[in-house]
């Protein structure tokens, strides 16, 4: 079930209404059933897969806790089981294809007597939605139990953690300690929380449908018609893709977080102004945060982290990012995308060390121009990496990169952008961001002492705006009209067909 589908539009309000109308004792059961209905809406049989993984990991958690002496063995078996499932469903065809291509090359080019089949064997597997995400949650669970956390005793609570539909398909990757705490506290209906959820759902829909999907149409024209691409077209397509994936994924996350809030649950944030990062290391602290922290805690640190000297740290960064790339998709261009990010992260560290050693460079670092230059360089690197991510093959990626730097007259992308609603909607979103920042910065009630000192007294417009906000929060009519208007705007600016979320394929 897609968050941007009519089915979800019917599904969510029904479940939310039932959830709060039912006695508290029935709510978790309802959420669990709803989560399975949500998941099985696509391929019902895959409900059994998530159930099997849940049952096995539940008992693995208990076994690790109960058998402390053999916990390493149980953990290893658990990792093999979880990663085995992931590899089978996600990487089987990738492995077969890579082996077949290698064998064919060795056979034809080097004349090695290998038994290469005439046609490439293919395993007919449909990738279960969200498997990459919930497998990572299971790995986190058994690893944390191995590291000393208490396992979840109640199977149904654990099943709900595993299947919770607002974060089931594309994250954010939850931590069971946070989720269980909320689960055991029994969420209470609070209109303010519900309102915050509703706001996030609408914001997410706007990002996904109005911005992401419309950008996708322009980007597709660019990436699908390389032969007719001018230089400006290529740049628009490449920049557009980076924005598209942000709006698509952060839109999904907002809808997921908003849906969770409607039930009184908080799931982690995934984005924190990623395009303001002044280097790639900072970018990964702001982009897909639940994945980057997972990679840090369950891959980078177990590999040795930064404990074994400079070279081992570099190796661990590279390995983490390459595997992170492979996690995104079973194709070589994702691997290279990961390696690119890993390489730049290593270089960033080297550059930072170099700068701190050179006095005059180190003095320049706090300067805003230094920061702005860093932001621009980071954007450029992201655009280059985005080509690897978006292209179907490496030759396609190279051809696209070439288009950026070889001057050519414009083709179809520029007119498509100008004819679309994007100039208006992107400007409106930029204005919204500026207003948000002004609003936050003028808020003296924030615990940030620095900000408070900058704004010693509440300005006239601020108190007026707060009065309007207070009135709005107390008026059901005002809220109804506002949300109906936003819904109409989303419908009006939506492209003809709803597109699935990009991260669903991962």
Partner 1 sequence: MTTAEISRTANQSALAPGKHRRWWQEAVTFAGLSAVAVILLELLFATCGIGGQEFLEPDPKLGCRQIPGKQVTWRLEGFSNDYLSSSGHRDVEHEQAKPVGTKRIMVLGDSATEGLQVPLGNTYCRVLERHLNSGSAGRSEVLNFGCSSYSTGQQVLQFEQQAVKYHPDLTVLLYVSGAALQNVYNPYKRVAEARPYFFIDSTGRLQEDDSVLLEQATAMQPNAVLSFLRKNSRIYGVLSQTNLSLSIHEKLYHKIRGWLVSLMARVQPAQSNKFKRLLYPPQDVWPVTSKLITRLNDVCLANGSKLIVMIFPNTVNDPVQTKQIAEFIRLSKQERFGLLDLTPAFKANPDPSSLFLQYHFSSDGHKVAAEQLAAFLKNQKQIDGTTAW
Distance between CA atoms of 108 and 110, rounded to whole angstroms? Answer: 6
* Least distance to partner 1, CB of residue 476, Å: 6
Establish whether the linkage from the previous residue to 468 is cis, with ω within 30° of 0.
Answer: no
CA atoms within 13 A on the CB side of 113: 0
Annotated catalytic residue within 67, 107, 140, 328: 328
- How many Cβ atoms sit within 10 Å of the Cβ of residue 287? 22
8 A C-beta contact, residue 235 and residue 219: no
Phi-psi region of 309 (alpha: psi -120 to 50; beta: other; left: phi over 0): left
Using DSSP, state whether 58 is helix, strand or coil.
helix
Query: Which lies closer to partner 1 via its Cβ, residue 195 or residue 306?
Result: 195
**What count of other Cβ atoms lies within 10 Å of the Cβ of residue 149?**
19
Q: Which is nearer to partner 1, 98 or 182 (CB)?
A: 182
| Distance in Å, CB of 34 to partner 1, minimum | 16
- Count other Cβ atoms within 10 Å, centred on residue 286: 17
Nearest Cα neighbor of 299 from 322, 320, 328, 327 is 320
Distance CA 389, CA 74 (A): 36
Q: Which residue has the tokens 């914001």?
A: 203
Whichever of 122 and 434 has its CB closer to partner 1, that residue is: 434
405, burial (CB in 10 Å: exposed 0-12, middle 13-18, buried 19+) = exposed
Considering the complex, state which of residue 193 and residue 293 has its C-beta at the smaller distance from partner 1: 193
- Measured from the CB atom, the residue of 457 and 474 that comes closer to partner 1 is 474
* Neighbouring residues of 62: CB distance < 8 A, sequence distance ≥ 6: 151, 153
Cβ(334)–Cβ(317) under 8 Å? no
* Residue number with CB closer to partner 1 (101 or 470): 470
Indicate the residue among 84 and 415 with the shorter CB distance to partner 1.
415
Ramachandran bin of 155, using left for φ above 0, alpha for ψ from -120 to 50, beta for the remaining angles: alpha
**CB–CB of 100/106 below 8 Å?**
no
Q: Which alpha helices (H) appear in 174-299, and where do they start and end?
A: 176-185, 191-205, 214-224, 231-262, 280-286, 289-295
CB of 497 to partner 1, least distance (A): 6
- What is the smallest separation between the CB atom of 307 and partner 1, expressed in angstroms? 34
Contacts of 196 (CB under 8 A, 6+ apart): 258, 261
CB of 197 to partner 1, least distance (A): 8
Q: In 3-state terms, what secondary structure has residue 497?
A: coil
Alpha carbon distance 384, 238 (integer Å): 8
328 is catalytic: yes
Nearer to partner 1 (CB atom), residue 44 or residue 308: 44
Task: Give the shortest CB-315-to-partner 1 separation in angstroms.
Answer: 36
Half-sphere exposure of 348 (CA within 13 A, CB side): 21
Report the nearest approach of partner 1 to the CB of residue 74 (Å). 37
Give the C-alpha distances (Å, rounded to integers) separating 455 from 92, 431, 439, 451: 58, 22, 12, 6
Q: Kindly state the smallest distance separating residue 203's Cβ from partner 1, in Å.
A: 9
Q: Give min distance, CB of 213 to partner 1, in A.
A: 12
User: Which residues bind to partner 1, rule: CB under 8 A?
Assistant: 5-7, 10, 190-193, 195-197, 199-200, 261, 266, 269, 416, 419-421, 424, 436, 439-440, 443, 446, 469-470, 473-478, 480-482, 484-485, 488-489, 491-498
* Nearer of residues 353 and 419 to partner 1, judged by Cβ: 419
**Nearer Cβ to partner 1, position 9 or 66?**
9
Q: What is the nearest approach in angstroms of partner 1 to the Cβ of residue 370?
A: 27
CA distances to 1, 304, 422, 489 from 312, rounded to whole Å, are 43, 8, 46, 52
> Which positions are annotated as active-site residues?
328
């Amino acid at each position: 079930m897609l968050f941007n589908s009519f089915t979800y539009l019917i599904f969510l309000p029904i479940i939310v209404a039932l959830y709060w109308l039912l006695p508290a004792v029935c709510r978790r059961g309802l959420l669990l059933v709803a989560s399975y209905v949500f998941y099985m809406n696509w391929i019902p049989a895959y409900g059994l897969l998530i159930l099997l993984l849940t049952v096995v990991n539940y008992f693995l958690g208990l076994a690790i806790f109960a058998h402390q002496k053999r916990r390493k063995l149980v953990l290893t078996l658990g990792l093999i089981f979880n990663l085995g499932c992931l590899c089978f469903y996600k990487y089987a065809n990738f492995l077969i294809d890579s082996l077949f291509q290698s064998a064919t090359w060795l056979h034809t080019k080097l004349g090695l007597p290998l038994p290469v089949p005439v046609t490439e064997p293919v395993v007919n597997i449909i990738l279960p939605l969200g498997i990459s995400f919930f497998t990572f949650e299971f790995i986190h669970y058994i690893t944390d139990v191995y590291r000393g956390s208490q396992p979840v005793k109640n199977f149904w609570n654990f099943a709900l953690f595993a299947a919770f539909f607002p974060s089931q398909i594309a994250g954010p990757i939850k931590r069971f300690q946070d989720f269980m705490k909320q689960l055991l506290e029994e969420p209470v209906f609070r209109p303010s929380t519900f309102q915050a959820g509703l706001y996030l759902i609408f914001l997410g829909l706007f990002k996904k449908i109005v911005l992401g999907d419309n950008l996708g149409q322009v980007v597709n024209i660019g990436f699908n018609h390389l032969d007719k691409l001018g230089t400006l077209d290529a740049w628009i397509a490449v920049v557009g893709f980076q924005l598209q994936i942000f709006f698509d994924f952060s839109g999904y996350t907002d809808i997921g977080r908003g849906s969770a809030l409607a039930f009184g649950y908080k799931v982690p944030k995934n984005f924190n102004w990623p395009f303001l990062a002044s280097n790639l290391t900072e970018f990964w602290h702001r982009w897909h945060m639940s994945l980057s922290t997972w990679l840090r805690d369950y891959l980078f640190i177990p590999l040795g982290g930064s404990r074994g000297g400079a070279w081992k740290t570099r190796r661990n960064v590279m390995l983490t990012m390459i595997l992170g790339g492979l996690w995104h998709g079973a194709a070589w261009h994702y691997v290279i995308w990961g390696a690119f990010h890993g390489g730049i992260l290593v270089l960033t560290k080297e550059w930072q060390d170099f700068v701190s050693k050179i006095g005059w460079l180190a003095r320049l670092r706090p300067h805003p121009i230094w920061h702005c230059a860093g932001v621009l360089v980071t954007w450029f690197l992201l655009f280059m990496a985005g080509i690897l991510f978006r292209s179907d093959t490496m030759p396609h990626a190279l051809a696209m990169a070439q288009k950026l730097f070889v001057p050519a007259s414009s083709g179809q992308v520029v007119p498509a952008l100008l004819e679309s609603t994007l100039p208006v909607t992107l400007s409106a979103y930029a204005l919204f961001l500026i207003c948000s920042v002004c609003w936050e910065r003028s808020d003296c009630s924030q615990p940030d002492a620095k900000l408070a000192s900058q704004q010693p007294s509440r300005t006239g417009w601020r108190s007026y705006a707060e009065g309007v906000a207070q009135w709005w929060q107390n008026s059901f009519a005002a809220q109804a009209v506002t949300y109906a208007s936003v819904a109409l705007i989303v419908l009006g600016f939506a492209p003809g067909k709803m597109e699935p979320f990009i991260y669903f394929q991962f």
